[in-house]
Chains A and B, each alone.
Chain A
Amino acid sequence: MSALLTLEGLGKDWFGVPAVEGLTLSIAPGEVLGLIGENGAGKSTLMNMIGGVVPPTRGRMLWEGQPYAPASAADATAEGVAFIHQELNLFGNLSIAENILIDGFPRRMGLIDRRAMARATEALMARLDLDLSPDRPVGTLVAGEKQLVEIAKALHRRARLIIFDEPTTSLTTREIERLFSLIDRLRAEGTAMIYISHILGDVVRVADRVAVLRDGSLVGEGPVDDFPVPRMIHSMIGRELADVFPPRRIAPPDAPPVLEVEGLSAPGVIEDVSLTVREGEVVGLFGLMGAGRSELARILFGLDPAERGRVRLGGQALHGGPRERIAAGMGFVTENRREEGLMMDASVRDNLALAALGQFAAGPLGLVDREKVGAAAQAMQQDLRIKAADLARQPVRSLSGGNQQKVVLGKWLLSRPHLLILDEPTRGVDVGARAEIYAIVNRLAEEGCGVLMISSELDELKGMCDRIAVMRGGEITGERSRAGGYRDADLVALAFGEQAAA
């Protein structure tokens, strides 16, 4: 069987750092390739290259033996590549028919031919066993139906390679079964598919071949029968622990607790979460995307409500929103610093001072002592080694990702927290700044601050944490301590919910 798409030594650098390296892989018509790897292993970059979103830095792609270099997503679509994303790209206010035919409405005398539209849509929908009126607004459909509309769109464009990116995250069991039988049918019709998922059982069910990415490289590839779930897990993880983690004094096990969470629940988000963080302890929170880790953090910080359960900080029950939590001694480094962490166009100094404004104010009118702010910002700059030329005038937008993240950290350090929640603190941060951030966290812990660290990177958690709690589906599925030793397979199995032995 000749290959539909062939990748030859494909590589992509982001700012000089390879995200994908030396990838050689091919996919044949009528074949389903399961693509697995940890978050940040390079899956998205690879898909973006195939989809024409970003050009490769090295190597080349072949489409039916001809060089394939899509300059845009539209090029890739024209060639026959279709994406079914996690976040579906549909217009909720438009009908099914309009969504499917959006890139070329059938016309009659310059006007849209509604009847031809309905006919075309009905034919496609019959192929997918989707029994709905073509006039239904897509916004009224359930997740599974929306996905089928997306697939119908792909079929309408005569897609020959369909890429599914985590297609089952929002589907019910029955919808998943329907999707799988559809994939089987498309395979029989000769459509090539790439199936990306964290749910390894699904990959086993649906894929013919498996490719495993780790750190941007292909580390395993073969027929699905050669890849039982434990081997998949083993291939995905298991890189050397780098020396970026500075040694740290382990927190005494009898240290008083800072954060006590008991039976915290918010329907559909988190379920019966109990957790303790002691003084000077760094506790990790591992899990896949969507496992409820960030949601838990938001609830702990009072940004979202909880229905049941208790949160105590230093023995005091917590109520109210972020204001009250900050006053009680909490800090929260959010996962997306641009949207929730920083005022991008404001100066470094203004950003640093934001959470601790009250400290710098005097008098009943709250007059800010500018010299105090300036001095504190300067001290923080030296302390965290923030590379900025002019604290008072330079907007944080102009800093590098690592330095931006240090500004967020500095903002919270100025408010002297007893508990700091870090959500993906090293995302988009280069290796050098990463090590510095780890050192800052360690020092903070040594000073007695409790740290709750959310990360998708197992190495980071293993290197940093006294304990690691694992979440899946909004629940804590297990907790391991450094003393008991961390085993990757064990932690990943907890996150994936697979029974796997390493």
Chain B
Amino acid sequence: MTAIDAPAPVPARQRRGFLARLLGSEYFVLWLTVGYFLVLLPFLPTLGTPANLVNLLSNMWPLLVVAIGQTFVMAVAGIDLSQGAVMALTSTLAAALLATGADPAVLAKAPIWGVLLSERGGLLDGRGGVGLALGLGLAVLAAVAVGLMNGIAVARFRMPPFMVTLVAMMIAGAFAIWLTQSENIRNLPEQFIALGKGDIVSVYFGARTESQLPRREVYPLVTYPAIVAIIVAVLAHWLLERTVFGRQVIAVGANRRAAEISGVPVVRVLILAFALSALFAAIGGLLYAARLEAGRPTLGSGTFLLDVIGATVIGGTSLFGGKARVIWTVFGVAFFVLLSNSLNLMNLSSFHVDMVKGAVILGAALLDVARTRLTRQALP
């Protein structure tokens, strides 16, 4: 039951050729990403500049964290549409609790004014590291509560995940907006903002001529979001591949009835999968908030969900459950971030960008069908 070498293809026969083997490869999306980058590079030299590469990475980390959450839900044949709203809720709550001050002209009308937040800052402001941890923890807890409710509705009441999380998206999203009357909460404490930056290892390209390096030519390579995302990815990978819980997640997605008869605690696994999805969305939301230096109640709305689901599916995780790997999602996110970035560099309007992205998701879905068929045919 330790499918580290994946539930996927039996080695295709040699005569099936290069294309078939490429399509069937575990690392197909990685090759696709690299290929796309190399093909585009001559036409779009900015793609390969250090500044852009660093930008690509910084775009990747928070999205990766959220998409890993989605991977768990898809692994149990679910979908989580509420991730964006959960991010908004988390970022708003955390900001409200931790802000060092607030402008009454902007926020005095908000229901949290005077309760969680006032002119002198949030409820937990000025209590040092403990306050910060408590604030972030409470916000994450609220997110996990949403995830648990999603999971209970799906597992216990057998409601369709699409409906449940759509409703959760509406309610949690609207609640976050109501909390601040749609205003962003600024004045986040320094330590919080540092979470979005933190150039722990930076690189400088060029000759060392002056003792002082020009600031804008120093590129942060290893940042806090990178560390958080990598830790999350490694833990999630380990959880999904190596633990009993992870194997049960895959089993529930592959065949719920067979899993139940084989003694898998289906209800618990489902609830936990949705809770994990919300947890990872919350972590992603905090990373975004730190980067934006504000708690934003409209975070994760719009086409953000398209990015998350698109990246996860492109990675190779099946919408029908039972087929999911964290490493696939890493590749999917990398491809998706590269795609968005390259489209932006082409100076396309956001409408065009979304249209192309949609087309790429469609293409990925078709490829997935082709891959599945191919691997089935390749069987003895």
Contact = CB atoms under 8 A, between A and B. Distances in A.
Contact of A332 (B2, B250, B255, B261): B261
Interface stretch (B6-14, B83-91, B152-160, B215-223): B6-14
Given A345-B254, A367-B243, A301 B2 contact: no
Given A322-B263, A389-B380, A398-B10, A370 B244 contact: no
Contact of B261 (A301, A347, A357, A395): A301
Contact of A393 (B6, B243, B247, B260): B6
A415 B264 CA distance: 13
Given A373-B2, A389-B10, A393-B11, A366 B262 contact: no
Interface in B251-266: 251, 254-255, 257-265
Contacts of B264: 323, 354
B248 interface: yes
B244 A368 contact: yes
Interface stretch (A10-18, A24-32, A122-130, A336-344): A336-344
A335 to B, nearest CB: 11
Interface string B228-244: 00000000000000111
Given A350-B247, A355-B262, A367-B242, A345 B4 contact: no
B270 to A, nearest CB: 14
Interface in B7-45: 7-11
A349 interface: yes
Given A339-B257, A393-B5, A398-B379, A365 B243 contact: yes
Nearest to B248: A357
Contacts of A367: 242-243
Nearest to A301: B261
A394 B380 CA distance: 9
Contacts of B244: 357-358, 361, 366, 368
Contacts of A358: 244
Given A347-B3, A357-B1, A397-B376, A326 B263 contact: yes
A322 B264 CA distance: 8
A394 B10 contact: yes
Nearest to A389: B380
Nearest to B8: A393
B340 to A, nearest CB: 31
Contact of B262 (A322, A374, A392, A395): A322
B245 interface: yes
Interface string B159-170: 000000000000
A340 B257 CA distance: 5
A343 B10 contact: no
Contact of A322 (B1, B242, B251, B260): B260
A303 interface: yes
Contacts of A301: 261
Contact of A353 (B1, B6, B257): B1
A447 interface: no
Nearest to B246: A368
Contacts of B257: 339-340
Nearest to A349: B1
A18 to B, nearest CB: 26
A346 interface: yes
A323 B1 contact: no
A327 B265 CA distance: 12
A147 interface: no
A73 to B, nearest CB: 27
A360 interface: yes
Nearest to A366: B244
On chain A, which size bracket covers the interface? Answer: 35 or more
Q: Which of B1, B3, B7 has the most CB of A within 10 A?
A: B1
B323 interface: yes
Contact of A374 (B2, B8, B248): B2
A392 B2 CA distance: 8
Q: Which of A354, A367, A389, A397 has the most CB of B within 10 A?
A: A354
B5 A342 contact: no
Contacts of A327: 263
B261 A322 contact: yes
B262 A394 contact: no
Contacts of B4: 370
A235 B250 CA distance: 50
B243 A366 contact: yes
Given A334-B261, A374-B2, A392-B3, A345 B323 contact: yes
Interface in A377-398: 389-390, 392-395, 397-398
Nearest to A337: B258
Contacts of A349: 1-3
A323 B244 CA distance: 14
B322 interface: yes
A350 B250 contact: yes
Contact of A368 (B11, B243, B376): B243
B1 A303 contact: no
Interface string A416-440: 0000000000000000000000000
Contacts of A397: 376, 379
A354 B1 contact: yes
A105 B112 CA distance: 62
Given A340-B258, A340-B261, A345-B322, A357 B7 contact: no
Nearest to B372: A345
Contacts of B263: 322-323, 326-327, 355, 415
A231 to B, nearest CB: 42
A395 B379 contact: yes
A278 interface: no
A303 to B, nearest CB: 7
Contacts of A43: none
A360 B1 contact: yes
A462 interface: no
B258 A350 contact: no
Given A346-B322, A357-B1, A368-B2, A393 B261 contact: no
A395 B7 contact: yes
B258 to A, nearest CB: 5
Interface of A: 301, 303, 321-323, 326-327, 332, 334, 339-347, 349-350, 352-355, 357-358, 360-361, 365-368, 370, 373-374, 389-390, 392-395, 397-398, 411, 415
Interface of B: 1-11, 242-245, 247-248, 250-251, 254-255, 257-265, 322-323, 376, 379-380
Given A342-B255, A350-B251, 11 more contacts: A322-B262, A343-B251, A343-B259, A346-B251, A349-B3, A353-B2, A354-B1, A360-B1, A361-B244, A395-B379, A398-B379
8 closest cross-chain pairs (CB), A and B: A370-B2, A353-B1, A343-B254, A366-B244, A398-B379, A326-B263, A355-B262, A354-B262
21 contacts: A322-B260, A322-B263, A323-B264, A332-B261, A339-B255, A341-B261, A342-B255, A346-B250, A349-B2, A349-B3, A350-B1, A353-B1, A357-B1, A366-B245, A368-B247, A370-B2, A373-B1, A374-B2, A393-B8, A393-B10, A395-B379
